[in-house]
Each structure stands twice: as structure tokens, then as C-alpha cells.
Structure 1
Amino acid sequence: MEFANVLIRKGRMSVPLIIKFTELKPRQVRESLLVLIQHNIAYYAESEERSRIVTYYEIDKEETLHRVLIPKVLQYSKLWFDREGEEVALSILTHGKQRITDLIGDAPVKSAQPGSRLNRAQLTKKMFTKMVKEKCLIAVRPSDSLAPVDRAMAEEKKETDKLTLPPTAAELANIRRTLGAQKGQEQSRTTIVGLKRTLDTVDGADGFDDGKRRKLTDGDLQIIEEVERDVFFKINFDRFIIRWRNMKIAGLYETRLNPTARKIMDSILSIAEERMINCKEDMSSSVNIMLLFNNLPTDVNLVDTLEFDPIDMGPNNTKPKPSECLEKYLQILEDDLLRILKKDAGRSGQYTIQLKAANKILKKNLIQDIVATRYGLPYVRIMNMLLDKGKLEEKQISKFSMMPVKDVREKLTTLCTFGVLNLQEVPKTNDRTPSRTFYLWEVVLPRAADSLSDNLYHAMGNLRQRRFVERARRSVLLEKCERTDVKANDALLNAAEKAELNKLNGVLEQLEIQELRLAEMVMTLRDF
């Protein structure tokens, strides 16, 4: 912990500087750097200084902040990819990065179910391949251990070295635009690094769904996808965050409309998810209505969940077809006040999701819940009023909210201190006299999200500190529990010690649950 704290606070440093500030032995420093790089938490960068090359190390702050989501990653790995998927995620998180051969070698070879032809290793291989195809696991290349800034500078230097003269500002800007476009194309490409196609016989022994395979000929050969054996993979936190964001977007319509609307939105987002790079995109790719109809879950009832005008039902009172009901559902979703689903104007039958607008709604709803829980509904009413009408003065807020000026002033000050509101001064004259100055209150959602994120991180730090304090209070008991004889026979603990140990486990469990809840809030405010 001390080692990582020094790198975070001091920035990138070489090994001699790390030894100086941490006061650790050189062997301990090198072993710590090896572990951090193995777990994708540290970067390194080589710099030529005079006649020698110096290696600098730094901490990847984004990867470090994502570590608090590990329990949630394991939970949804089991939900999406069964128990084998959870074991794959747990093994990769334990080792940092791992090859499929190493993981399968650790899996016991025995039947997962009585009478099943698939052994445990085959099931693990199947789920590993599925997680790679859905980009929940991504390949780790040697260049990924380099700092992104240094990697970008090296690519830029490689392009400038092709020029005979030093580049001008326009040429340098053009080079950077070209490199940025190439990086965007690389991220958005459909081919997956570490996944290859091979020919195999059609025997069904590998457990893959035959309906999803492409037959090469009428014979017994087909194209299958498998993971390369020598490629290391790591958990792709960004893909998990995208899926959680999509689940929250679909959940908005279950409360506003019905569960069928949620399943329709969930299907649209699932189809468009393949081309999503991160949560900062403005909109999703277009989804065809026929493709959506074919990918809806079988338990979706489009006909009976809608109400029809007797005129539309015809003379025999026959309800419309499911495809027509889907069109009506899409029209309802498009006309909803959230304005998240939008028809693609350029192509008929195509729909897109306005991700930027959806992210804004999710952040606003979370901030409203936090303000309502901490201060009450009148504060939320003031916040919503400013979001709706923009900048307002204190008297205008009092008039619109029908509250006394004294109460409004107190609530505005509280919300401003909490970080939700901003105050902007507009002087009438150059002397900035308070009596000749307009004081306008407003809600800037990105600033409010950043401010609340800082408060939530502070609360998470307090929970971590409380956990250390609880363990320190019972350090003697924990040392006794670590003894080999106590591990072999818990009868060596008396009743009071067992009760205290159960109490400690209960407190630690509650602290971890609260920390995970705060981590989910931070994810919504920071990553969406």
C-alpha cells in the first residue's frame, strides 16, 4: 500500500527514486513493480537520458478506481456466463492477466452434470471464448504496459521522423488527427484480438450452439471461433460498465411504461452494444426493426400488453400482428418525454439510442435521490426548477417555488455548499457593488456530478478506514485465528471469542456492502 501511495502522490518515478521515498529494499521494489504490472495497475516508460535509458513507472489511476467494482464484476459474470464464467473472472482477477491454457490447466476434468458429455475444462473453454467474443475479456498486448501518453508520443515521433523538415503546427495537428482517427477505427472494429477462426468437424462435442455456426460446405466441416492459446487476457471493466449503463437505461422504461417496454429497450441496446466503445458516446449505432423483432426474447408478449382502438381491430375484433405491435411500441418509446429512442432520419426502419441524453437523465436522477435523502424534497424542487428554467435570482426562485425568501436563501446556501448549485455574479457597473449586481443561481450537471463524486470517494475512504480500525481492535483475536492449530480445530476458541469473531465478520460485511453501493453511485456520476 505504501509503495502505491508514493507513486500516486509523487507521479512517475524511476526505481532509485522509489527506493528513496519508500525506504524499501531494491528487491522489494522490483517485486512490487512486477506485481502491479502483472495486475495492470502500473505502467512503465523508457526515456533516453544522455548515454543511458532510464525506466519510469506510474500508477494507472483509472484501473485502480475500477478495483472497487470487482465484487459486482464477479456477481454479473455468474449471472451472464453461469458458474464457469464466475470462475474465469475470479481466476483472471486473481492473476491479473491469464492465458486460456493456464486457466484450463487448473480446471478439474470431470462431468459438470450427470450424463453430460462436456467436462469441466470444456465448459470453462466455452465460457472463456464467449466472454472474449462479448468483449468482457480483452487481449493484453506488450504495448498495453506502456503509459498511454508515451505510446502516443512514440507514434507521433514515428510520423514526424518521416518528414524531411521539422513539422509545422498545421502538419503536427494533421498528424494528431490522423492518429486519433486510426485509434478510433481500431477501437470500433468488429474483429477481436486473440480470437481466430478455424475449421473443425460438426460433432457438437465442443458444446457450442450449432444454430450459430456457419456451414462451410454440405459436408462435415465448419468454421468455429476459438481463443488463441498464447494470448493473455484481462477483465475489460469498460465493457461491464457499458452493460450496467444499458441495464439502467432499459430500467427507466419499466417504471414509466411496463416490463415489455424494458425488454424492447434492452434488446435494442444489446444489438447496438457490439459497436459501443465507452460510455461517453453521443448515440448508439442504428438498429433495424426486423433485426430487433428477431432478437426479442421469446417470453415477450407484444399483443396483450397494448390497448387498441376498436377501429384499429377491424370488423372481427382481431388484434394486430406482433410486428405491428412492435412498431406501435417503438412509436410510444419515441414519443416519450425522455427522448432517448429516436428514429434515424436517414434510413427508414432504423432506430438509435441517444446515449448522451440517457446518461444525463441517469445522473440527474441519482443526484435528485441523494439530495432528497440527505435534505428533503423541497431542495429537490428547487434543483428541478433551476434545471428546467436555467439561471434564476433568489426572488424568482421564491416566487416560483412558493416559499419564503428566508427559507429559499437557506436552501440555496446549503445546496451550494453541497456542490449541487453554482452562483454566478453579473455586475451592472464596473465597481461590482453588491447592490448593483445580479446573483444568479444555476445547476451545472457535470460540475454537480464531479462534486458529489469527490464526496462519495471521501465516504468510501472513511469506510475503508473504519474497516482497518475494526480489524485493529481485534488484532489479538485475528492473530489467534491465523494459527494453524486454530484453523484445524476451531474448538480452541471459546464462546466469547467466537461471538466477537462473528460480530467482526458482520461489521466488515456491512462496510463492504456500503462501499459497493457508493462505488455504483460513483460509476454513474463519473463513468456514464
Structure 2
Amino acid sequence: MTAVELRLSSLLLREHYGEIVERVGTFLIRTGAQPLRVIVSETGTSTDQVKKALCVLLQHGLVTYQMHKRGFVEYCTQCDRCLRILRFPRYIYTAKTLYGDAGELIVEELLLNGKMTLSAAVRKVADRLTESMEDGKSMEYGEVMATFSQLADTHFVQRCPGLSDTGDTPSTEGRRPPAPTLVINEKEMFTIPKVTLIGRGKRRRSSDDDEGATQSKRPKRDPVVVEDDAIYWQINMDRFHQHFRDQAIISAVSNKMDQTSSEIVRTMLRMSEITTSSNAPYTQPLSSNEIFRSLPTGYNISKQVLDQYLTLLSDDPLPFVGRSGDSGGGTFVINLHKAIASLATSNLESIVQERFGSRCARIFRLLLRKRHLEQKQVEDFAMIPAKEAKDMLYKMLSVNLVTLQEIPKTPDHAPSRTFYLYAVNPLSSARMLLQRCYKTVANLIDRRQYETKENKRLLEKSQRVEAIIASMQATGAEESQLQEIEEMITTPERQQLDNLKRNVNKLDASEIQVDDTIFILESYINSTMAKIS
């Protein structure tokens, strides 16, 4: 892990889990697998605090443990999962878009707790949904259970491997941990156990009601009958990443061609989303007849028009759809690796254009297509004057977006008898820009924390005023009294709060936008390395 990734991981751990967890996690990222006694001595933290921090990291899947050959336990951080914390809001928003409020809260609870049993997640979500309902309505456990089943059927949630079926945690005393019970096959990873959930969500009781009511008179919860409640569930991040990749491909096809083409590609991806692994180079071959039958019911296009669209997509220079056979009216696949490579290249071209201008972007695209060119050839093909082309090539060369290769004609490497070829290495350029994106996100987090720290007193005052107003509204206070409380925050302070809120919202939006680029670049690098290996 690079220094930039270490800094970003440290900031994310501190922001979400606190200073002690961040200290332990950062130490493990920097040094690798370490036993408990070394973590305690090197971090300067008490044994109890280190144990609690390790429990938090283990609960959220950020740390794994293994037995050393000498008989003690070593802990090792999952560096990639630490960086995935940045994508938590996107996971939650995706669940809300696909499965509504219940899906959103299920994913949110699983992310907050790391892993949960089915009954605990359903009960917690039902209680939260009930509190947000009006007219005294309650959310049935069965409705939340149905949404959870949909998430499992589409592989967005899965059983926890390793410790999932025992519910045990490894010993932090250095002794041998209990042997975990592994999930046997992939099918069981997404199978809901036979459970019976009876009841509905409960609202929180106010403090006055709690003081006035005795323990015997308080209503009891409806029973929850669970046949198998020893299974823990977690978020399947790979499935979310597969969904993000599919949405990026659909959006690219829509921008390049039209809405009908994107709907056809969406149908093909939806048909193979469960049967195709997240790192597969192609989707499963689908015949034209199967695609036609699977199109949305309200989408009225004939079979002949569908065949024409599929032919256009497979013949288009954009290598998203490919023809794999002629049976059943023709079979087609989505070229996932080529699509990701095309999206990553588009991101690289866009970054070059924003940073160096349209003429540099023209030279960059030219080098991507022609692979190797001399300076004179670049000038001729790009139709740019020699001096400008030379300056632009040197600018991109100085930031490692362009490489220069020397091919000597003679062994003495004399400049007059040497070819100097410019080229673009997309993989190395993507890695370099990925590190810059990590640095950008870390700077955005630092800036947001700085803004919050500088206005800490004003934020605390605003929270106190809001709490007073909420309590007075609950007791039926008059409008004049509420207005008097609101005036405790002066006009300049209110303007300062508005500016702070606007700045923080911009920083949050920037983080999400940069993460989109990070996801494309990471996917391209991973697919390229998988192809090489």
C-alpha cells in the first residue's frame, strides 16, 4: 500500500471508528501481520483498548487473523476493504434505489454493525421504519423479511464466511481461536434459512412514559420465532461493484447511441447478473430470441428492430457488445473487460483535456490509437505546429502520461542515429491517476474536518437550539416562544451556518464524483492484471 493509500485509510478509519481503531488499523497496514503483544507495545495503547479495537476491525471485516507456526495469533489488515469505506454512501443509495426504504435501512444497518443475524437486522429495520411512520402505523416484520430475501436472492447480501455460522470471535489473548465453520458452497451463501418472524416494529417510548410506567405494565414485544439464528450476514461488496460497472456501461451506451440501445444492453446485463462472476471477461451468451422475450413489457419494439440494434451494437467501434454465434437468431455477449478499458481510456482522455487542453488531448488520443510515433509523425497526424507539439509532448512526459522509448540504429546510441518514439501506457497512466484521485479524496476529507473544527462552537450552539425547539414543540409550546428560541442564533451566525452547510455539501459531492473515477480506474487495473496473469 502506498503512502497516499495509507493516509486515506487512516482518515477513513478515524472518521468512522475513532482514534484508537485508526491507530491500531494504521499500524497493521504499515507493518503487516503482527501478534497482539507487538501491537500493544508499538502503538502505546493499553491491552484492553487494543482488544476492543481488534474486535471492531474483525466485526467489520477489516482485519483477519491466522495462526503462526509458533502457535500464536497474528492479525492482518485488509487494506482494500479499508478504502471501500469511502463507498458506503453509494452502497446505501443503490439499495434505496432498487429496494426502497427497507432495503436502504437493511444495508445501512449491516454496514454500521459489520455483520448481523437475520432476526436482529429485521427487528432493527422494522423499528426504525415504524418510528418514521405517521398515524400510529407499524411496519410488519414480514415485509422487511421479504426485502431482505430479495437482497439475498440478487446477492447484495451474503452469509459471512469463516466465523459466520458459529458467532464466535477469535481469542485476543494469543490462544488458539475456535475452528470456524465454513460455508460449503456458493448457493448456501445466498440462501435464507428457515425462519418465522412474527410481529411488527415498535416505537421508542418517551422518557416521561418510561418514568410513569412500571416494568410490569410496559407492553412486551411480539414474539420472534427463529429456527436458525446462528448465521451472520454481511454486505456483498463485489455484487455492488458489479452493479456500478453495469450502470456505467449502460450510461456509456446511452450517451454514444440512444435510449433503446441502452435498454437492450441493460436487459442483457440483468439476464446474466447472477450467472456471471464479477471478474468474468464476458457475460453468458444470450440469443436474440431470449433478449426479445426478456425486454421490459412496456418497451414496444419488434423482433426485426431488435436484431438491427444488436447488429449495430456488435459492429460499433465501441467494443461493448460482441457476437459469439449464430444460433437462435444470433448469440451476443457483453465484453466486460473491453467495456471497462474503454471507460477508463475515456476518463484518461478527459483528465488530459481538462488539465492540458484540447490539443494535448488530441495528441493523447492519437498516441493511444497509433501506439508509437515519432515527434514529426505526431506533428503531421495531429496537424499541430512543431514547437507547440514539442511543448505539449514534454508537458505530458513530465507528468508520466506519455513515455519516450529510444531505439538506436547503432550500438553507440548516437542521437542522430536513434529513433525516439512517444507512446502511452494506459495501465501505468491509470495507476498514476488513481494515486492522484486517492490524494484528492484525502485532501477533501481533511478540508471537511477543518471546516467542521473551525465552526465547532457554532455547530454545538445550533444543535442545542434545535433540541430545545424540538422538546418545546413536543410539549405544545406557542409560536412566539419558539420564535424567541430561534432568535438565539443571530443573523450573521445563521449566514455562517448556511455557508458551512453549502461548503460541506460541495465537499461531499466532490468525494462521490472522485470515487466514480476511482471505481473505473480500479476496475480497469484489476481486469488488466487478471488478463495478464
- 1:338 is aligned to 2:318: yes
Q: CA deviation at 1:258?
A: 1.7
Of all paired residues, the percent bearing the same amino acid is 24
- The answer as to whether partners of 2:193 and 2:228 remain within 8 angstroms in 1 is no
- 1:139 is aligned to 2:138: no
**Cα distance change on mapping 1:325 and 1:198 into 2, 3 Å:** farther
Within a 5 Å distance, the mapping from 1:50-61 to structure 2 comes to: 53-61=71-79
- The answer as to whether partners of 1:284 and 1:352 remain within 8 angstroms in 2 is yes
SS at match of 2:284: coil
- 1:499 is aligned to 2:495: yes
The amino acid across from 1:297 in the alignment is: P
- The answer as to whether partners of 1:112 and 1:120 remain within 8 angstroms in 2 is no
CA distance in 1, matches of 2:88, 2:313: 34
Within a 5 Å distance, the mapping from 1:168-317 to structure 2 comes to: 191-196=187-192, 229-278=229-278, 280-302=279-301
- 1:2 is aligned to 2:23: yes
CA distance in 2, matches of 1:342, 1:444: 25
Partner of 2:518: 522
- The answer as to whether partners of 2:292 and 2:306 remain within 8 angstroms in 1 is yes
Structure 1 range deviating more: 459-468 or 419-428: 419-428
Q: Deviations over 1:392-420 (max 9, x none)?
A: 11111011111122211211122223332
Partner of 1:455: 436
Partner of 1:42: 63
**Cα distance change on mapping 1:57 and 1:478 into 2, 3 Å:** farther
- The answer as to whether partners of 1:394 and 1:441 remain within 8 angstroms in 2 is yes
- 1:363 is aligned to 2:344: yes
Number of aligned residues: 439
**Cα distance change on mapping 1:227 and 1:292 into 2, 3 Å:** farther
Partner of 2:379: 398
CA distance in 2, matches of 1:289, 1:69: 36
Q: Deviations over 1:246-272 (max 9, x none)?
A: 122122222332211110110001111
**Cα distance change on mapping 1:92 and 1:196 into 2, 3 Å:** closer
CA distance in 2, matches of 1:227, 1:243: 32
Structure 1 range deviating more: 326-335 or 389-398: 326-335
Instruction: Specify which of 374, 384, 387 is matched with residue 368 of structure 2.
Output: 387
**Cα distance change on mapping 1:112 and 1:295 into 2, 3 Å:** farther
Q: CA deviation at 1:468?
A: 2.2
CA distance in 2, matches of 1:381, 1:97: 49
SS at match of 1:273: coil
The amino acid across from 1:231 in the alignment is: I
Q: Deviations over 1:426-470 (max 9, x none)?
A: 222333333332221111211111111011111111111112222
The amino acid across from 1:97 in the alignment is: K
Q: CA deviation at 1:347?
A: 4.5
SS at match of 2:412: coil
The amino acid across from 2:251 in the alignment is: G
Q: CA deviation at 1:517?
A: 0.7
The amino acid across from 1:324 in the alignment is: Q
CA distance in 2, matches of 1:37, 1:248: 32
CA distance in 2, matches of 1:388, 1:249: 21
- The answer as to whether partners of 1:195 and 1:227 remain within 8 angstroms in 2 is no
- 1:20 is aligned to 2:25: no
SS at match of 1:438: strand
CA distance in 1, matches of 2:413, 2:84: 46
- The answer as to whether partners of 1:276 and 1:284 remain within 8 angstroms in 2 is yes
- The answer as to whether partners of 2:371 and 2:424 remain within 8 angstroms in 1 is yes
Partner of 1:92: 110
CA distance in 1, matches of 2:158, 2:401: 37
Within a 5 Å distance, the mapping from 1:122-137 to structure 2 comes to: 122-137=142-157
CA distance in 2, matches of 1:135, 1:508: 34
**Cα distance change on mapping 1:231 and 1:337 into 2, 3 Å:** same
CA distance in 2, matches of 1:442, 1:142: 47
Instruction: Specify which of 62, 70, 75 is matched with residue 80 of structure 2.
Output: 62
CA distance in 2, matches of 1:451, 1:462: 17
Q: CA deviation at 1:192?
A: 4.1
**Cα distance change on mapping 1:295 and 1:58 into 2, 3 Å:** same
Partner of 1:179: none
- The answer as to whether partners of 2:195 and 2:227 remain within 8 angstroms in 1 is no
Q: Where does structure 1 lack aligned partners over 5 or more consecutive residues?
A: 146-182, 201-225, 303-321
Partner of 1:468: 449
The amino acid across from 1:468 in the alignment is: Q
The amino acid across from 2:103 in the alignment is: G
CA distance in 2, matches of 1:46, 1:195: 30
Within a 5 Å distance, the mapping from 1:406-485 to structure 2 comes to: 406-478=387-459, 480=461
The amino acid across from 1:60 in the alignment is: Q
Instruction: Specify which of 499, 504, 511 is matched with residue 508 of structure 1.
Output: 504
**Cα distance change on mapping 1:485 and 1:341 into 2, 3 Å:** closer
- The answer as to whether partners of 1:100 and 1:227 remain within 8 angstroms in 2 is no
The amino acid across from 1:299 in the alignment is: G
- The answer as to whether partners of 1:194 and 1:227 remain within 8 angstroms in 2 is no
Q: Deviations over 1:70-121 (max 9, x none)?
A: 1111111111111111011111111111121001222238699999x99432
CA distance in 2, matches of 1:39, 1:443: 40
**Cα distance change on mapping 1:359 and 1:493 into 2, 3 Å:** same
Q: CA deviation at 1:485?
A: 7.6
- 1:326 is aligned to 2:306: yes
SS at match of 1:195: coil
Partner of 2:18: none
Partner of 1:163: none
- The answer as to whether partners of 1:194 and 1:231 remain within 8 angstroms in 2 is no
Q: Under a length normalisation based on structure 2, what TM-score does the superposition of the two structures give?
A: 0.76
The amino acid across from 1:345 in the alignment is: G
CA distance in 2, matches of 1:17, 1:198: 44
The amino acid across from 2:322 in the alignment is: K
The amino acid across from 2:406 in the alignment is: E
SS at match of 1:24: coil
Q: CA deviation at 1:487?
A: 3.7
CA distance in 2, matches of 1:16, 1:197: 40
CA distance in 2, matches of 1:228, 1:269: 34
- The answer as to whether partners of 1:486 and 1:493 remain within 8 angstroms in 2 is no
- The answer as to whether partners of 1:194 and 1:228 remain within 8 angstroms in 2 is no
- The answer as to whether partners of 1:129 and 1:227 remain within 8 angstroms in 2 is no
The amino acid across from 2:149 in the alignment is: T
**Cα distance change on mapping 1:335 and 1:7 into 2, 3 Å:** same
Q: Where does structure 2 lack aligned partners over 5 or more consecutive residues?
A: 1-21, 166-181, 197-225, 470-484, 525-533
- The answer as to whether partners of 2:267 and 2:294 remain within 8 angstroms in 1 is yes
Partner of 2:8: none
Partner of 1:30: 51
**Cα distance change on mapping 1:259 and 1:518 into 2, 3 Å:** same
